[in-house]
Chain A
Amino acid sequence: MRSASPGMRHIYGWLLLTPAAILLIAFTHYPTIATFIDSFFSKSSAIRPSRFIGFSNYDAMLEDPIFWKVLFNNLWFALGTIPTSIAIAISMALLVNRSLPGQGFLRMAYFTPTILPMIAVANIWLFFYTPQIGLIDQILQGIGFSGHNWLGDPNTVLGAVIVMTVWKEAGFFMIFYLAALQHLPKELEEAAKLEGSSRWYFFWRVTFPLLMPTTLFVLINAVLNSFKLVDHLFVLTKGGPDNASNLLLYYIYENAFSYFDPNYASTLTVVLLALLAIIALLQFFLLDRRIHYR
């Protein structure tokens, strides 16, 4: 390489880039652009081929009550899962960060939900939620309450999915908080203790602000996850009853593969991507300047 002419160096450069570039273009850029284009075309059928229809798909989407329903479901789902799982993750991390007997076991126990396959998690919770014979109903009946069809009732189904998601995510986020906590110097707490600061005060004044970079990272992950959830719905509810637990990505999946309307699915996908982009930008610009990075 030392003797290569500038022209040759260019070629080498491109050759080295090509494999990665091909993969990136074939599996990320091309599909994104194709999706964007598809959203401006009509659904093709046996008698009518697909044709350009401008914003008609978007108009139809705005008229589609199910779209609005899944969008709000998604909002509730995000609001229900994110703050709770972050709060639980921080609490668990603070707990296992102290030197306790059985600390290693505790850390592993908290992390277990994360390493289980999604489908297995969903199956476990399917058993918990099953009417009459499920774990929750058995306990409720044991203490004298009547059972409830948690996943069959439109009023409780989204809550049931939220609880399961929190259970799964809190342990995962805890690992990040635990790593961050172990990097905080012990002297900070000691210095505060000498001044008479309570644990509570120290947490809000020092620990929590210093964990903000982790919180931002976890927050972005949590938001992405709340829009990415498909597998649990697939096993537990199929989005029902009456779309009460349907979320945006699952609705896209239904449109593409159950109703065979890839163009409407593309339209919804474009909206999903736009939403994610806006959220990511907001997080970076609003939160980032208030975060202390070391």
Chain B
Amino acid sequence: MSGVRVENLVKQWGDFRAVDGVSFKALEGTLTVLLGPSGCGKSTILRLIAGLEFAESGKVFIDDQDVSTSDPAKRSVSMVFQSYALFPHLDVRENIIFGLKVRKVPSAERVARLQSAAEMVGLDKLLSRKPAQLSGGQRQRVALARAIVANQPVCLMDEPLSNLDAKLRAEMREEIHRLQRSLNLTMIYVTHDQTEAMSMADQIVLLKDGRIAQIGAPAELYDSPSSVFAAQFLGTPPMNVLSKKSVEGLCKTTKSVDFLGIRPEKIQLSDNGIPMIVDAIDYMGAETVLRLLYQDQRLIVRIDGKTQVSIGESVSVNWDPIDCHGFDINGNRICDSY
């Protein structure tokens, strides 16, 4: 079982704890996404798993072996860097087989593995180009091919798509996901983009300030966020979180909640509801995002298609109490909130 398990990882720079007691398990052949805002320690965790950094305390297990102190080359991992880390003076072919040469793989096998990896990512026609002669997407593919050709069961990716434009990003996202499944890789994928996380992950590890905020499948995190942070990090536009003051009027609560969350798509415009003023309208084609004002609170509503209302008008909104999420004063979820 070539899964990855980390236990209580702590990494410190001076007094600053970049990673603070992180534990999770990535099962064999699954895709785990480390998600969180910039600076929350995602890359550091990945580098600890790869062995490019060493933890102050905690353990890393790969394939049930404790590799916490092993050499990076002996951990059976491959890695794709955010900057791709291609060797600029070597052509695509040499870049891809760099590791095979280091590991002294016989040349016949090298050629075969190069061929199949290059075909898998669609680079077979570009093997003698230098990285400078490739587009961003093609460079990304070289980095992928280099990881594939290594034949390692565990693949680590650090924001591999962040240097690509939006269209290419969606395309490569699918491609990486396809490769991960067809090669049955155990993949740990770092990103700050919740769309990437939601669409690819079998499991999301949501991080904040070096600690785990929540672990679970995308739907779990979306449907029952454990905190206001998780609630607002996933989903675009983010969940509405209203403070207690306005809660009284908006939801018939039985428990004492301090914050009330409601996803923008769970709110309907209706004839009998709470009256609000339309502050802004973002028309996106398939949907429209309305920004509403209610006293000093802001509320985002997502509705299908176009709307007839215009800015400054008053609309009434309504929602099913079952779609409400309750949070306490510290932003933690109160399970049975209505």
A, B from the same assembly: yes
* Residues of chain A at the chain B interface (Cβ within 8 Å): 185, 187-188, 190-197, 201, 205-206, 209-210, 292, 294
Q: A206, B81: Cβ atoms under 8 Å? A: no
Is B77 an interface position by the 8 A CB rule? yes
- Ordered by A's residue number, 20 sampled pairs between the chains whose C-beta atoms are within 8 Å are A187-B81, A188-B85, A190-B72, A190-B79, A194-B51, A194-B52, A194-B73, A194-B77, A194-B78, A195-B98, A195-B150, A196-B102, A197-B73, A197-B102, A206-B87, A206-B89, A209-B89, A210-B88, A292-B130, A294-B132
Complex Cα spacing A209 to B73, Å:
23
Distance of B82 from chain A, by nearest CB (Å): 8
Complex Cα spacing A73 to B87, Å:
41
**Bitwise interface map of B from 58 to 81 toward A, beta carbon under 8 Å scored 1, else 0:** 000000000000011110011101
Q: How large is the interface on B (under 10, 10 to 19, 20 to 34, 35 or more residues)?
A: 20 to 34
Instruction: Supply 9 further A-B pairs (C-beta < 8 A) apart from A194-B77, A210-B88, A292-B130.
Output: A190-B52, A190-B85, A193-B52, A195-B99, A195-B150, A197-B73, A197-B102, A201-B102, A206-B87
Chain A contacts of B81 at CB under 8 A?
187, 190-191
Complex Cα spacing A185 to B150, Å:
22
Distance of A195 from chain B, by nearest CB (Å): 3
10 closest cross-chain pairs (CB), A and B: A196-B73, A195-B99, A292-B89, A187-B85, A191-B85, A197-B102, A187-B81, A195-B102, A209-B89, A194-B72
Complex Cα spacing A181 to B17, Å:
30
Which chain A residue lies CB-closest to B88? A294
Chain B contacts of A188 at CB under 8 A?
85, 87
Distance of A150 from chain B, by nearest CB (Å): 43
Is B301 an interface position by the 8 A CB rule? no
Chain A contacts of B98 at CB under 8 A?
192, 195, 197, 205
Distance of B189 from chain A, by nearest CB (Å): 17
Complex Cα spacing A152 to B52, Å:
56
Q: Which of B71-117 contact A (CB under 8 A)?
A: 71-74, 77-79, 81, 83, 85, 87-89, 98-99, 102-103
Complex Cα spacing A273 to B120, Å:
57
Complex Cα spacing A212 to B250, Å:
70
Q: A196, B99: Cβ atoms under 8 Å? A: yes
Chain B contacts of A294 at CB under 8 A?
88, 132
Distance of B331 from chain A, by nearest CB (Å): 36
Complex Cα spacing A89 to B241, Å:
61
Chain A contacts of B102 at CB under 8 A?
192, 195-197, 201
Complex Cα spacing A185 to B88, Å:
11
Chain B contacts of A209 at CB under 8 A?
89
Chain A contacts of B132 at CB under 8 A?
294
- Determine which residue in B74, B81, B130, B146 has the highest number of CB atoms from chain A within 10 A of its CB, and name it: B81
Is B48 an interface position by the 8 A CB rule? no
Q: A191, B88: Cβ atoms under 8 Å? A: no
Chain A contacts of B78 at CB under 8 A?
194
Q: A193, B83: Cβ atoms under 8 Å? A: no
Q: A195, B103: Cβ atoms under 8 Å? A: yes
Is B6 an interface position by the 8 A CB rule? no
Is B198 an interface position by the 8 A CB rule? no
Q: A185, B83: Cβ atoms under 8 Å? A: yes
Q: Which of A187, A201, A205, A206 contacts B83 (CB 8 A)?
A: A187
Complex Cα spacing A210 to B35, Å:
35
Distance of A202 from chain B, by nearest CB (Å): 9
Q: Which of A185, A196, A197, A292 contacts B85 (CB 8 A)?
A: A185
Q: A193, B85: Cβ atoms under 8 Å? A: no
Complex Cα spacing A187 to B156, Å:
14
**Bitwise interface map of B from 232 to 251 toward A, beta carbon under 8 Å scored 1, else 0:** 00000000000000000000
Distance of B10 from chain A, by nearest CB (Å): 21
Which chain A residue lies CB-closest to B100? A195
Complex Cα spacing A193 to B71, Å:
9
- Determine which residue in A187, A188, A191, A206 has the highest number of CB atoms from chain B within 10 A of its CB, and name it: A191
Q: A292, B88: Cβ atoms under 8 Å? A: yes
Is B50 an interface position by the 8 A CB rule? yes
Complex Cα spacing A201 to B73, Å:
14
Complex Cα spacing A187 to B146, Å:
14
Which chain B residue lies CB-closest to A292? B89
Chain A contacts of B77 at CB under 8 A?
194
Distance of B171 from chain A, by nearest CB (Å): 24
Distance of B102 from chain A, by nearest CB (Å): 4
Complex Cα spacing A192 to B78, Å:
11
Q: A196, B89: Cβ atoms under 8 Å? A: no
Q: A194, B88: Cβ atoms under 8 Å? A: no
Which chain B residue lies CB-closest to A189? B85
Distance of B231 from chain A, by nearest CB (Å): 35
Which chain B residue lies CB-closest to A212? B89
